[in-house]
């Protein structure tokens, strides 16, 4: 089965749907380096889903090209191409009559993997996405929406594809579970290091998940492609600035954690861990009506403090 991560290049990729005025994706050019997460954000109807589907050829390019590790998607056999790409969508599309284990084993089965191998691999993947191994024998209807979404992710990872396409994978999930899935997805990505193209409507999710963001404007044109930090600090134009929101200075604070700051001596106050973002730390101060936070290590021991003034600086 495939492995590693692949570089993905959109090269003037263009899609015009027949009978529609204007392009859905218009001369889109960008490179996603191997092992990075690129998040596509932009207004509804802007062409994000179309851009993803051009990659696995659920939709064919009108002009331009898309290359995976240097090979054009047009030059590849469709079956081979799709086996090398994990695809996760909002309504997961699990097979209802198959157990979770069988769902996860879909692609490995195509590769002729034996049943025992698939069983072991499913158990590993369930653990990886944070589900108990006992879920293997259940059916999709016996899972919550968030759990099904994890199974969808496990299934997409099962063939060990070098590239993952994720179209609003956490879109229909409540905020608490969504935050947890985002955290788990990031932890997972640190382990498996796939190249990922991730579509979301949620700019906060984009900033949290993305190594790079591609802001797409209506008509499928690229407005800006850069790291979240660069985009928050220097939006390319009014469209981008408006899209990321007037609170972009506050959003930028979510890119830094307390571990990056110089702490004062241990003090009394509401406690927070080193991994907390500066934005969350400020929110905690406001909520607790405090002026100083006690910062703790993994074991919960207070190792220092940080004041409101220091956070704002
Ligand atoms: N099969 C199709 N035939 C014709 N037009 C289509 C087709 N699929 C999408 N479109 C049009 O192409 C444009 C881009 O659609 P697309 O689904 O790529 O947008 P999107 O950015 O994913 O939107 P959303 O955020 O709402 O999911 C829209 O104007 C849409 O109406
Ligand atoms: Mg879409």
Per-residue pLDDT reduced to its tens digit, 166-194: 999 888 777 887 888 888 889 888 888 99
For residue 198, the model assigns a pLDDT of 97
| CA 108 / ligand 2 centre spacing (Å) | 28
Average pLDDT of the segment spanning 244-249: 87
Residues within a 6 A CB radius of ligand 1: 17, 20, 24, 44-50, 201
Strand 71-72 vs strand 302-307: parallel, antiparallel, or unpaired?
Answer: unpaired
Cβ-based neighbours of 132, under 8 Å, separated by 6 or more: 126
For residue 39, the model assigns a pLDDT of 98
For residue 212, the model assigns a pLDDT of 97
Strand 25-32 vs strand 221-226: parallel, antiparallel, or unpaired?
Answer: unpaired
Residues 237/239/244/250 CA torsion (nearest 10 deg): 50
For residue 249, the model assigns a pLDDT of 85
CB atoms within 10 A of CB 164: 22
pTM: 0.85
Lookup result for tokens 């850069």: 226
Checking if the pLDDT of 86 tops 80, the result is yes
Atom 14 (ligand 1) nearest CA: 47
Stated as kind and residue range, the H or E segment containing 50 is helix 48-55
Query: Which domains does the chain carry?
Result: 8-84+161-252 (3.40.50.300), 258-312 (3.10.580.10)
Which of 21, 25, 46 to mutate for ligand 1's pocket (most ligand atoms within 8 Å of CB)? 46
Residue 171 in tokens: 């879109």
For residue 1, the model assigns a pLDDT of 59
246 touches 235 (CB < 8 A): no
Cβ-based neighbours of 299, under 8 Å, separated by 6 or more: none
For residue 130, the model assigns a pLDDT of 82
Per-residue pLDDT reduced to its tens digit, 13-55: 999 999 998 999 999 999 999 999 999 999 999 999 999 999 9
For residue 3, the model assigns a pLDDT of 64
Q: How far apart are CA 211 and CA 215, in angstroms?
A: 13
Average pLDDT of the segment spanning 232-260: 91
Cβ-based neighbours of 22, under 8 Å, separated by 6 or more: 16, 219
| CA 92 / ligand 1 centre spacing (Å) | 19
Checking if the pLDDT of 95 tops 70, the result is yes
For residue 2, the model assigns a pLDDT of 63
Q: What angle do CA 63, 49, 14 make, to 5 degrees?
A: 10
Higher pLDDT, 150 or 214: 214
Atom 4 (ligand 1) nearest CA: 17
């Amino acid at each position: 089965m495939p492995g590693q991560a692949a570089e993905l290049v959109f090269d003037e990729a263009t899609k015009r749907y027949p009978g529609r005025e204007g392009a859905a994706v218009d001369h889109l050019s960008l490179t996603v380096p191997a092992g990075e997460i690129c998040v596509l954000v932009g207004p509804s109807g802007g062409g994000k889903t179309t851009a993803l589907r051009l990659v696995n050829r659920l939709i064919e390019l009108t002009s331009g090209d898309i290359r995976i590790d240097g090979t054009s998607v047009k030059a590849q056999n469709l079956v081979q191409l799709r086996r090398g790409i994990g695809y996760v969508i909002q309504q997961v599309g699990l097979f209802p009559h198959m157990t979770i284990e069988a769902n996860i084993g879909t692609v490995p089965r195509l590769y002729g993997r034996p049943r025992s191998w698939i069983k072991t691999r499913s158990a590993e993947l369930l653990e990886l996405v944070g589900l108990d191994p006992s879920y293997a024998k259940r059916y999709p209807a016996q899972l919550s929406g968030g759990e099904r979404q994890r199974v969808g992710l496990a299934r997409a990872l099962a063939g060990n594809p070098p590239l993952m396409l994720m179209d609003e994978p956490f879109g229909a999930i409540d905020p608490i579970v969504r935050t947890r899935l985002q955290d788990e997805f990031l932890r997972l990505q640190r382990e498996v290091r796939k190249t990922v193209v991730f579509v979301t409507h949620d700019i906060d999710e984009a900033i949290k998940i993305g190594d790079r963001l591609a802001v797409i404007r209506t008509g499928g044109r690229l407005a800006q492609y850069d790291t979240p930090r660069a985009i928050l600090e220097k939006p390319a134009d009014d469209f981008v600035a408006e899209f990321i929101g007037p609170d972009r200075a506050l959003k930028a604070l979510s890119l830094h954690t307390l571990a990056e700051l110089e702490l004062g001596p241990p003090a009394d106050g509401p406690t927070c861990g080193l991994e907390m973002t500066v934005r969350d730390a400020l929110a905690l101060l406001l909520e607790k009506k405090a002026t100083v936070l006690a910062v703790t290590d993994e074991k919960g021991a207070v190792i220092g403090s940080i004041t409101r003034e220091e956070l704002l600086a």
